[in-house]
Amino acid sequence: MTHTTQDDRRYDEHEAAPEPTSSRRERSAATTVEPLLVRLLGPEPPMQVVLWDGSTFGRPDGVGTLRITSPSALRRILWAPGELGLARAYVAGEIEAEGDMIALVAALRDLRPKNLGASTVGVSLRVARRARALGRPLPPPPEEAKVRGRKHSKARDQQAVRHHYDVGNDFYELVLGEAMTYSCAYFDRPDRSLPEAQAAKHELVCRKLGLHERRGARLLDVGCGWGSMAIHAAKHHGASVVGITISPEQASRATERAAAAGVADRVEIRLQDYRDLAGEAFDAISSIGMFEHVGKQRMREYFEVLGAHLTSGGRLLNHAISSRNGSALSGRSFTGRYVFPDGELLDVGEVVLAMEDAGFEVRDVESLREHYAQTLRHWVANLEAGWEQAVRLVGDARARVWRLYMAGSAVGFEDGGISIHQVLGTLPTADGVSGMPRTRAEWVAPGT
């Protein structure tokens, strides 16, 4: 026996009473959809929209073109008004984006506060009925994350991290380039290439941690990715490094890369959660691009755990994306559903307080917001240049996820919606000696 809800009956009634055939023939898709497009994009949008029948709306000389290839896109917007519905339609191939993806996303973001949201539902219903796109919700693309369990438990964190990072090492190499570094680069000189800027970032972290002054120091790299920071510290400063990650694919490739770089005797890569560290002491700890997975409720615990594994006078550098007032990535957002399930972008002020509550003396805070925007532009260019290979590696839908995610992130860093901060803390000795240099000049590497 089939259960029929009131909503089902409403949609069945709409579909049972379509407009006269002659009216449907005379109306182009653009004319049919125009009321919704005006609500979403305004009467004169800065891009062109091409509908599934070839009819158009908007400016052909704008920032790019959006192609709505199927009325199914309307059904997705009806059931998930705003960002999530549009993103699902793009990932599913029901909307195509042509031209400068970052410029398109920026234009859509500028329009969002005025025109997107629940107020589109009534207009969407009328337009979807006329376009014969009414129906129950379409299943989301399978690339949407499905994590289960208690939030930020070890088991659920492992699911979230593997969803994000176990996409395939070859795909990440295509996007990130030879540096294989999935975090903000440091363009201290405008002419630096991406690999050079990533090396400059690693060197900046090493010098903030004082590794250039203590050759052979023991470093813990939390969320070590594909091993780039660990390899740099071992190769250029003789550090003895333990890198930990909960991504099997990262651990495997990082181990291979350390061996290829000739530092396997100084770099140990472990498949390990930071909460499972025990009985070890380190002179310095780097946490680069991992803190976003920790969560507000656990951030003090995070710093306490790391602090318990630092020697007296040791330093911790936390490098993380931040958001004013802090924000968990909503389950209704594209990024929360497809890229960073359970991710949280915390306010840098709260991070400083949490570090202090955990016993650290915070000595430096630096924003690298513009650097991350430039990094993301390099990554988007890499993906688009290698699009066919990317599709072969991970499929069209997942490649779309990454194109949209990185373009949107670039816009966020450029307009200040999100930022990234390096926060440096130390554990002074019992008599208050911090071991910190008097000025930041100590962090400027020779030749930079």
- Dump pLDDT digits (tens) for 358-394: 999 999 999 999 999 999 999 999 999 999 999 999 9
Looking at the structure, do residues 180 and 115 belong to the same domain, yes or no? no
Write down which residue in 94, 115, 130 finishes a domain.
Answer: 130
Instruction: Report the pLDDT averaged over residues 317-337.
Output: 83
Query: 168 and 98: one domain?
Result: no
Residues 114, 174: one domain?
Answer: no
| Res 421 pLDDT > 70 | yes
Residue 148 forms part of a structural domain: no
pLDDT of residue 1: 36
Residues 309 and 372 in one domain: yes
Parallel, antiparallel or unpaired: strands 282-288 and 310-322: parallel
**Cα–Cα dist 394/141, whole Å:** 14
Average pLDDT over residues 24-45: 83
Provide the total of helices (H) and of strands (E) in the chain, helices listed first. Answer: 18, 13
Residues 84 and 183 in one domain: no
Distance from C-alpha of 156 to C-alpha of 370, rounded to nearest angstrom? 32
**Looking at the 3D structure of the chain, how many domains does it have?**
2
**Shared domain check, 232 and 303:** yes
Q: Is residue 383 a part of any domain in this protein?
A: yes
| 402 is a domain residue | yes
What does the pLDDT look like over 53-109, one tens digit per residue? 999 999 999 999 999 999 999 999 888 877 888 999 999 999 999 999 999 999 988
Residues 362 and 401 in one domain: yes
From CA 343, how far away is CA 291, in angstroms rounded? 9
Mean pLDDT of 97-122: 77
Do residues 426 and 313 lie in contact, with contact meaning Cβ atoms separated by under 8 Å? Answer: yes
Residues 110 and 221 in one domain: no
Per-residue pLDDT for 193 more than 70?
A: yes
The pLDDT of residue 7: 38
Q: What phi and psi values does residue 344 have, to the nearest 5 degrees? A: -135, 130
**Cα–Cα distance, 17 to 7 (Å, whole number):** 16
Q: Find where tokens 């990234």 sit.
A: 420
Does 334 or 209 have the greater pLDDT score?
Answer: 209
- Give the domain-ending residue among 97, 130, 163: 130
The whole-number pLDDT of residue 24 equals 41
pLDDT at 330: 63
Q: Has residue 138 been placed in a domain?
A: no
Q: Which pLDDT band holds residue 146 (cuts at 50, 70, 90)?
A: confident
Same domain, 430 and 287: yes
pLDDT (mean) for 192-220 = 96
For residue 147, is it within any domain? Answer: no
Inform me whether the pLDDT recorded for 6 exceeds 70.
Answer: no
Higher pLDDT, 112 or 391: 391
Partners of 240 in the β-ladder: 218
Residue 142 lies in a domain: no
227 and 286 fall within a common domain? yes
**Is the same domain home to 304 and 249?**
yes
CA 415 to chain centre: 16
Indicate which CATH number applies to the domain containing 271.
3.40.50.150
If one counts every other C-beta atom within 10 angstroms of the C-beta of residue 131, the result is 21
What is the DSSP-derived secondary structure letter of residue 140?
P
Single-letter residue type at 446: P
In a domain, 332, yes or no: yes
d(CA 4, CA 413): 46
Q: What is the pLDDT of residue 128?
A: 85
CA-to-CA distance for 101 and 95, rounded, in angstroms? Answer: 13
Prediction pTM value:
0.89
Strands of 53-187 (E only): list them: 56-58, 64-68, 95-99
Supply the pLDDT for residue 447. Answer: 55
- Does residue 340 lie in a domain region? yes
Residues in the chain: 448
Name the residue among 89, 256, 252, 295 with its Cα closest to residue 162.
252
Domain termination site, one of 64, 98, 130: 130
**Domain co-membership, 335 together with 255:** yes
- Domain containing 393: what range? 154-443
pLDDT band at 147; cut points 50, 70, 90: confident
